[in-house]
Structures are given as C-alpha cells and as structure tokens.
Amino acid sequence: MTTDAAYTELSACLRRTHLLDSIGQLLGWDEQVNLPADSADLRAEQLAVLAEIQNAAAANPRTGELLALLEPSDLEADQVAVVRQARRDYDRATRLPPDFVREKAMQASRGYHAWARARAENDFASYAPVLEQNLEIARREAGYLGWAGREYDYMIDLHDPGMSAELIARLFAELKTGLVPLVRQITGSPVRARTDLLRGFPVEGQRAFLREVTARLGFDYRRGRIDVSLHPFCSGTGADIRMTTRFNADEPLDALFSSIHETGHGLYEQGLPRAHHGTALGMNAGMGVHESQSRLWENQVARSRGFWRHFEPRFRALFPAQTGGVSADELYLAINAVVPTLIRVDADEVTYNLHVILRFEIERRLFAGTLAVRDLPAAWTAAAQELLGLTPGSDREGVLQDVHWSGGAFGYFPSYCLGNMMAAQLWYRALALRPDLEADFARGDFTWLLGWLRREVHAAGRRHELPELVRRVTGAAFSPQPLLRYLRERYGPLFPA
C-alpha cells in the first residue's frame, strides 16, 4: 500500500468519525432546544447506542494499521499534523479498558447527583468521597494513556494540547500580580456602573437586535442558526453551527453578549477549512484557542466604543422607551460594569480571570497531593479572600458552586483564562496592523478583523498548539501582559481613582 493510499484511507476513517460526532452534537443540541419534557429516556438510549458506534469507529483497528504504516513514512508537514492528532484520538479510544470507561461514565452520573444534592443542602461532607473517587479515576485514566506522574498535565492537555500545569502556573502568577491591584483600583473608584437601568426589553426586539449584530459580525446564517436553551452554547460543525441564547426582559445585555460570545465560537468553526473537517487541518486548536475567539468578539470588539458608536442608535431605535432615560455614558458603563462576586458564572470580564486562577491553584494542589479533599472548603475560602476580597457565606458560594468536578472535568477551567489572554494578545497584534480598527467598527465594518482571524487563526486548524500559534500570529511569546494592558486601558479610564 502506498503512503498516499494509506493517507487517503485514514482521512476517510477520520471523516466518518467526524460525521458520527456531528450527529451526536445534533442530538445534544436538540435535547437542549427541542426535546419534549418526557422524551428524555428515549434520547438517553439514542445517545448510548450512538456512543457505542462512535467508540467503535474511533477505535477501528484499521485506523491503527494505517497509523502504524504512516508514522514512519516521509510525510508533508500537514500530513504529519493529521497523523499526530489521529494517533492521539486513536490511543484515547483504544487504551482505556471498556470496564474503566463504563465505571467512569457511571461515576460521572453518580457524581452529578451527589453534587446537586450537596449543593442544595450545603453539605460538602457528603460530596467529598465522590470528589476523592473522581480524582482517583482521573489519575488512573492518565496512567492508561502514559501520563503517570503527570496526571494534572494530562487533564490540561485534554482540553489544550501543548499546555502544562507548570506553564500555566507561570502565566497565571504573572497575571495575578497585575490583576489584583487593578481590581482594587476599579472597586475603589467612586464611579459605579448601574446595571439596573435596563428593564422591560421585549424578547422579540432583543432577538431582532442580536440577530442583526451577529450577522453583521460575520456569522453565516446560511450555515447556522440561533435558538433558545436554558444555558447558552454553540455546537455543531462549521457546516451547520447551532448556537443558543436565553432571554430575560430585564437583562437585555445578557442575551446580547452571550450571543456574541457564542458567535465568536461559531465564527471560528465556520472559518475552519471545510474540506478538512474531521482531520487536524479542519479542527479547532483546543479550548483555549476557541475561547480566545469567543472572548475577542464578546469583549475586545463588542464592549468597545467603536462597536457601540455603530450599534447604539439602532439599539435606541428598537427600544426607545426602555433607553430613553439612559445616557450614552450610563449605557457604556453598564456594558462594562465590574463588580466582584463570589459566583464565577456571574463575573465580569476582569474578575472572571481571578475565579479561574483560584480553581487552577486548587486543582493543581489536589493533583500534587498537597491539598486534601476534606480541606477544600477552607482552602477555597482563603483563596476567595486573597483573590476576590470576598468571603463565601457558605460552601454553596464556594467550592460547591461549579458542576465540573462532579463529572471528573478537571483541568477545564484554565482554558477560559488562557482564552482571555490569547484574545488580548491577538487584539494588539490586529491593532498594530490596522490601528484604526475601532473606526471600522464605528462604521459597522468587521470584515477586516474577521478576514485576519480567518487567515491567521481559523485557517491553521489544529496544526499548532496554543503557544506556538500565538507566537506565529503575533510574533511574540504567549503572555498575560496584553490582557493586563487591555484591561487597564479599557477599565482604567472608566473607573478612575
């Protein structure tokens, strides 16, 4: 068999796996958006049979044979990237014993219910044994895949290939050093954003506005749609992106900004080379890079003066009664409100990073064995005081607030902050190339920025790991300094001492 023939056959195997994955995503989307109340049992059965088929496809022995044939061959750089990712996925599909996979799935389900009950009853003690088990399972999984002794690195690498606990620790320490005083400055400012000014926005108007905005940003509604679900998300592939949002008449900025966030994810997926969907050449580069795209559109772009110069008149025209008593400055402050909170999901874009740092530091200690599960509540409280200047009134406002660990999703949180850092670094590179970017926005023109991201980030697929991708696009090492600069430049003037 020639190398070319093997590569072609491998690509077909990967495409098949990708299609099965896209079917699973559609079922997941439908579950959140359309599923009738009592049809959940059927959906669970459908997803179970599909998971079995997906696993069989991912673990197809033929893929193993093709990889063994291709790995020692003389391949082009693109082919090397495809084979490397295929190996990664194949090993993950084949090295975990079926019994372990079942045990993990059952434990995730048990863990979720244990967490939900513990959170409702503010009862950490009942949840602690579950967390112990989840940590043990995570360690075993890392061992199966050859990461013994580097278990937390394994969890991080799962979400962000190429990142490690040590690298993140260095980046976050530097970020923290700059961020804590900045938050102190903002919260010490006599200026206060009023977030209670925007009330009574009819859903139909909100829907029309966010649809207009996201289409203008460049989302291709001929290959995607936006619907309503309890929690906003973006799923599907670039050939058919399914985004969701949610509406609250008294929180019009929530639907708008969550839609723009999901649009950032959607633009990235729509920008991945369609002919290569399913291989590393048409695959997103990881969660951190994904988040950099959603955050850049949500924050650097949609919280900018230029953006609102263009959209504010339209917003006021759609909602004349609701915005009549709100000045332009009040509106812009509400859009850029900074209010430290104990709850991560309620955090603004400045303090959100502190929530991530808190979780990363705790996860790292858990995996290093320097923090015991039973000591988590105290460690959380101490970290919240240090980082946020706030003391949880209970574990529900502390260690019990997030669902992630209950299902064994460790190493997941850092991506959010890595995405923020990367977004800011991309932003300043874009500004260096096109200093009047905000003037584009003020004209409602986002094509230059999207075109640049398409070429520099989207077209690259998963060829490069996050730090290398950042270095290639910006010419500089991945760093928290651009994020700190951006936060200072945007929030310093809004909240003076």
Cβ closer to a second copy: 3 or 25?
Answer: 25
For position 98 contacting a second copy by CB under 8 A, the verdict is no
Q: C-beta of 274: minimal distance to a second copy in Å? A: 9
Looking at residues 353 to 382 of the shown chain, list those that interact with a second copy (rule: CB under 8 A). none
> x/- contact string, 203-232, with a second copy (CB under 8 A)?
-----------------xxxxxx-------
For position 137 contacting a second copy by CB under 8 A, the verdict is no
For position 27 contacting a second copy by CB under 8 A, the verdict is yes
Among 2, 38, 435, 475, binds a second copy (CB under 8 A): 38
Among 8, 34, 122, 385, binds a second copy (CB under 8 A): 34
Cβ closer to a second copy: 237 or 425?
Answer: 237
- From the list 15-23, 144-152, 362-370, 419-427, the region that binds a second copy by CB under 8 A is 15-23
Q: Tell me the C-alpha distance between 220 and 294, whole Å.
A: 15
For position 239 contacting a second copy by CB under 8 A, the verdict is yes
For position 50 contacting a second copy by CB under 8 A, the verdict is yes
Among 63, 79, 107, 237, binds a second copy (CB under 8 A): 237
Looking at residues 52 to 91 of the shown chain, list those that interact with a second copy (rule: CB under 8 A). 53
Q: Tell me the C-alpha distance between 396 and 36, whole Å.
A: 31
Among 3, 26, 65, 459, binds a second copy (CB under 8 A): 26
The count of chain residues that interact with a second copy, using the rule CB under 8 A, is 31
> Dihedral (C-alpha) 288, 290, 295, 297: value to the nearest 10 degrees?
150
- From the list 47-55, 149-157, 370-378, 400-408, the region that binds a second copy by CB under 8 A is 47-55
Q: C-beta of 269: minimal distance to a second copy in Å? A: 12
Q: C-beta of 37: minimal distance to a second copy in Å? A: 5
> x/- contact string, 147-166, with a second copy (CB under 8 A)?
--------------------
- From the list 25-33, 79-87, 342-350, 435-443, the region that binds a second copy by CB under 8 A is 25-33
- From the list 30-38, 197-205, 207-215, 397-405, the region that binds a second copy by CB under 8 A is 30-38
Among 3, 28, 35, 211, binds a second copy (CB under 8 A): 35
The arrangement of strands across the sheet holding 224-228 comes to 224-228, 240-245, 234-237
Q: C-beta of 239: minimal distance to a second copy in Å? A: 4
Cβ closer to a second copy: 175 or 272?
Answer: 272
Among 3, 32, 46, 94, binds a second copy (CB under 8 A): 46
Tokens of 407: 């299902």
For position 126 contacting a second copy by CB under 8 A, the verdict is no
Please identify every residue annotated as catalytic.
Answer: 262
For position 259 contacting a second copy by CB under 8 A, the verdict is no
Q: Give the 3-state secondary structure of the chain.
A: CCHHHHHHHHHHHHHHHHHHHHHHHHHHHHHHHCCCCCCHHHHHHHHHHHHHHHHHHHCCHHHHHHHHHHCCCCCCHHHHHHHHHHHHHHHHHHHCCHHHHHHHHHHHHHHHHHHHHHHHHCCHHHHHHHHHHHHHHHHHHHHHCCCCCCHHHHHHHHHCCCCCHHHHHHHHHHHHHHHHHHHHHHHHCCCCCCCCCCCCCCHHHHHHHHHHHHHHHCCCHHHEEEEECCCCCEEEECCEEEEEECCCCCCHHHHHHHHHHHHHHHHHHHHCCHHHCCCHHHCCCCHHHHHHHHHHHHHHHCCCHHHHHHHHHHHHHHCHHHHCCCCHHHHHHHHCCCCCCCCHHHCCCCCHHHHHHHHHHHHHHHHHCCCCHHHHHHHHHHHHHHHHCCCCCCHHHCCCCCCHHHHCCCCCCHHHHHHHHHHHHHHHHHHHHCCCHHHHHHCCCCHHHHHHHHHHCHHHCCCCCHHHHHHHHHCCCCCCHHHHHHHHHHHHHHCCC
Looking at residues 266 to 295 of the shown chain, list those that interact with a second copy (rule: CB under 8 A). none
Cβ closer to a second copy: 22 or 185?
Answer: 22
Cβ closer to a second copy: 3 or 22?
Answer: 22
For position 30 contacting a second copy by CB under 8 A, the verdict is yes
Q: Tell me the C-alpha distance between 331 and 335, whole Å.
A: 6
Cβ closer to a second copy: 223 or 404?
Answer: 223
Among 20, 198, 253, 483, binds a second copy (CB under 8 A): 20
Q: Tell me the C-alpha distance between 134 and 407, whole Å.
A: 7
Contacts to a second copy by CB under 8 A: 16, 19-20, 22-23, 26-27, 30, 34-39, 41-43, 45-46, 49-50, 53, 220-225, 237, 239-240
